[in-house]
Chain A
Amino acid sequence: MRRTEPRPQPALTATDGDVDREAGVARLFDLHYPSMLRLAALLGADDPENVVAEAYYQIYRKWRKMRDPGSAEAYLRSTICNLTRMRIRHLQVVRRNIEALLPESVASPEDSVLLHDDQRALVGILRELPARQREALVLRYWQGLKEAEIAAAMGISPGSVKTHAARGMAALTQRMEARR
Chain B
Amino acid sequence: MNTVPDDMERRLRETLDTLASGVHPARDAYRTARGDWLRRERRRRIVLALLVAVVFTVAVLIGLWVLNQAPAGTGAIFTEPTSSPYPAGHG
Q: Say yes or no for A75: interface residue by CB 8 A criterion.
A: no
Q: Say yes or no for B90: interface residue by CB 8 A criterion.
A: no
Complex Cα gap A3–B34 (Å): 15
Known: A49-B26, A109-B22, A119-B18. A8 touches B8 (CB 8 A): no
Report which residue of A41, A61, A137, A142 has the largest number of chain B beta carbons within 10 angstroms of its beta carbon: A142
Q: How many residues of B contact A (CB 8 A)?
A: 34
Does B1 lie within 8 Å of A119, measured CB to CB?
no
Q: Which of B1-38 contact A (CB under 8 A)?
A: 1, 3-5, 8-9, 11-34, 36-37
Does A38 lie within 8 Å of B5, measured CB to CB?
no
Contact of A109 (CB < 8 Å), options: B14, B23, B26, B30: B23
Does B41 lie within 8 Å of A60, measured CB to CB?
yes
B21 to chain A, nearest CB (A): 6
Q: Say yes or no for A42: interface residue by CB 8 A criterion.
A: yes
Size range of the interface on A? 35 or more
Complex Cα gap A37–B23 (Å): 7
Does B25 lie within 8 Å of A113, measured CB to CB?
no
Q: List 7 A-B contacts (CB under 8 A).
A: A29-B33, A33-B25, A33-B29, A137-B12, A141-B16, A142-B20, A173-B8
Q: Which 3 A-B pairs have the closest CB atoms?
A: A113-B22, A142-B16, A38-B20
